[in-house]
Amino acid sequence: MVSTKSGKCWKFGDNIPTDQIVRVDRALGTMEEMAKHILENLNPDFPKYVQPGDILVAG
């Protein structure tokens, strides 16, 4: 069986430390606040433009 997905593909590198996923000062906030800033240090456009169904690729 082959499953297909569609959406924008966001590519990130290998060995992403947790403080690059969300900064420590943001990790103490609510989940909604963290989501507004997720991966912004690696790609400032990511939290603004990521949509349900998009695909995240990282090592």
Distance (Å, rounded) from C-alpha 10 to C-alpha 56?
5
Q: Which two tokens stand for residue 21?
A: 């996923």
Please tell me the predicted confidence (pLDDT) of residue 25. Answer: 86
Query: Can you give the residue ranges of every domain in the chain?
Result: 9-57
- What pLDDT is attached to residue 2? 74
Other residues' Cβ atoms within 10 Å of the Cβ of residue 36: 13
Q: Which span out of 10-14, 21-25, 27-31 was modeled with the highest average pLDDT?
A: 10-14
pLDDT score of 9: 94
Is the pLDDT at 4 greater than 80? The verdict is: no
pTM: 0.75
pLDDT tens per residue, range 32-58:
999 999 999 999 999 999 999 999 998
